[in-house]
Amino acid sequence: MNGKVYPSEDPGKYKSFIPLIDAYNEAKLKQIKEYDPEFYAKCVEIIPTAEELDASPISFMKYNKKLLSPMDFEIVTNYSMQELVAKQISKELTALSIINAYIKSAIISHLITNCAMQFLIPEALAKANYLDKFLSKNNGEVIGPLHGVPISIKEHMNYAGKQTCGSYVGCLDNIPRESAINIKILDKLGANFHIRTSQPQSLMWLDTANNIIGRTRNPLSTRMSPGGSSGGEGACVASHGSCIGFGGDIGGSIRVPAAFTNLFGFRPTTRIFSSLNNLGGGKGQETIIVSQGPLARSIEEIDFFMESFVNKGIPSNYDPSCLPLPWRTPVELPKKIKIGCLFDDNLVTPFPAISRGMKLVVEKLAENFELVDLKNYWYSESEMESIYTNAIACFTSDGNQTQYDMFEKSGEPILPLTSHYFQFGDNAGKPLSVYDVRMLAYERDNLRLDLYKKFFGRVEDGSLGLDFILAPSYVGPSETPGNSLYWGYTVLWNYVDFPSCVFPTGLFHETTTDVLPFSNGGPKLKNNQYEKMVWYGHNEDKINYDPKNYVGGPIALQLISRRFADEEVLEGVKKIVDILNIPRS
């Protein structure tokens, strides 16, 4: 329990929704059982129980290899989305063979990670048959650039005719008539949807659990968190349950799951994708706007997805909020790329693994790029405390009333990380005045300009003239469940709306190496409330960090640039991962 009673909570009312929750989960189980009873029975026989998965650091990979046929394993493991489309054109594969392989892999993924809110198996099989007939009738011409590509989608995006609850118990009876704009566009481009993935209660965690399906696990180590709020997407894509995933990011919700599951995750500048027809508790909140984007196993697939969606899907034709800008390709970067390296945001000290990862990556990049340590240029601790507090106050400026409205129908219990989110900002869950909200937007605009002038402007105007900033994507490697408390390394870029892409470094947490640096003359912890929250938790006398908790956690970083330099960000990541020699995960 969260130790606090919220106005929306009503145990008696919630009890009446238990049959709806049970029916929702039974329908999902029925669908995967009926798809292939023999395959399902084999999965249940081999895959550990939920209790075993929660207690031990189990990886998905050996189960994929055991349970999938050699051909299905090859399809879900070895072929990028571009290769899947090419192999359909060459008649080496069909859309039906591809989707069957991914349905089976998604079932394994769900049984290991609990990543599915809903399966779309009959619809996916029907779409595959349609695509195969289209290809045959049109002499090998595809319906669109994503022809037959299995894509997972975050469940809170409306899907016509299907329950769409956004993990709100009270919305289990919600069946939208119209799909989200982005879903419509992806469908027209040939994407095949077979699974809708989990998100946390309130959609405002960097972890994933809700009162409908419970906790989603990290496929690299099931004892760990997959991140959030697109945690189901991260879990599904990382365990090869889909070729590419589509999520949303308002404070780190694409990038943190990508970081925790060793994927690439891109948060584009806002207004590239539509945000219409998505279910959530952030109605009318415009100080920080949500951005949709992809999670994938390679940067090339991220780039291909973006070019396909923007240039072929043309979202501005469907949503007047979207900007009519093309995806620029090819993109030329300066011969000598200049990167600012932010080792520490001056508010919360990264865990040892992240500091080690930053140092090693910077050393590898030094020969190819002009690198600048931002330590002497970045904002002070007090400035960062004010910036972060302002940023997260944007989310709770209505006193959480729009969230309470979503929870009131069912009276569902408020989970601990929702309670944590409800306390964001100095307002501590109380509504701000119109004046205060306007001041948050004013401070945001000033910060955006200051960041640009200080770091990305022209050198002759006194700027550092950076092309990119390289920074941690989270304070640590993949987090333990329920402890993803600090959003600062990601939400800053949402606040000022700068595009950023998370990428794997090929490095992982090492228990014997990534120990506390403070006992041997290392950096001292800061004295602000957020540093204490992360490092001490509820114990003010003892640091709450134990290297054994993060065994095998991937070390991810992010690359950031100015607004609308989205193509440059992806091109910069391509160059970095080429130097680091990062393979497709």
Contact 431, 401 (CB under 8 A): yes
Does residue 203 have a known ligand-binding role?
yes
Name the nearest CA neighbour of 485 among 236, 252, 168. Answer: 252
Which structure tokens are listed for 144?
Answer: 């669109």
Of 97, 109, 152, 154, which one is the catalytic site residue? 154
Of 80, 253, 473, 561, which one is the catalytic site residue? 253
Residues with Cβ < 8 Å from 460, sequence gap 6 or more? none
Does residue 282 have a known ligand-binding role?
no
Does residue 386 have a known ligand-binding role?
no
Does residue 185 have a known ligand-binding role?
no
Does 291 qualify as catalytic in the annotation?
no
Sequence length of the chain is 585
Does residue 253 have a known ligand-binding role?
yes
Q: What span, in angstroms and rounded, lies between the C-alpha atoms of 387 and 491?
A: 10
Does 253 qualify as catalytic in the annotation?
yes
Burial 107-127 (b: 16+ CB within 10 A, else e): bbbbbbbbbbbbbbbeebbeb
SS (H, E, C) 460-499: HHCCCCCCEEEEECCCCCCCCCCCCCCCHHHHHHHHHCCC
DSSP 347: S
Of 109, 179, 225, 229, which one is the catalytic site residue? 229
Contact 233, 247 (CB under 8 A): yes
Q: What span, in angstroms and rounded, lies between the C-alpha atoms of 463 and 465?
A: 5
Q: What is the SS3 assignment for 139?
A: coil
Residues with Cβ < 8 Å from 511, sequence gap 6 or more? 547, 548, 550, 551
Contact 280, 199 (CB under 8 A): no
Q: What is the DSSP string of 62-106?
A: HHHHHHS-HHHHHHHHH--HHHHHHHHHTTSS-HHHHHHHHHHHH
Contact 298, 573 (CB under 8 A): no
Does 62 qualify as catalytic in the annotation?
no
Which structure tokens are listed for 168?
Answer: 């709100």
Element (H, E) at 451: helix 434-451
Give binding residues for substrate as ranges.
203, 229, 250-253
Which residues form the catalytic set? Answer: 154, 229, 253
Give binding residues as ranges.
203, 229, 250-253
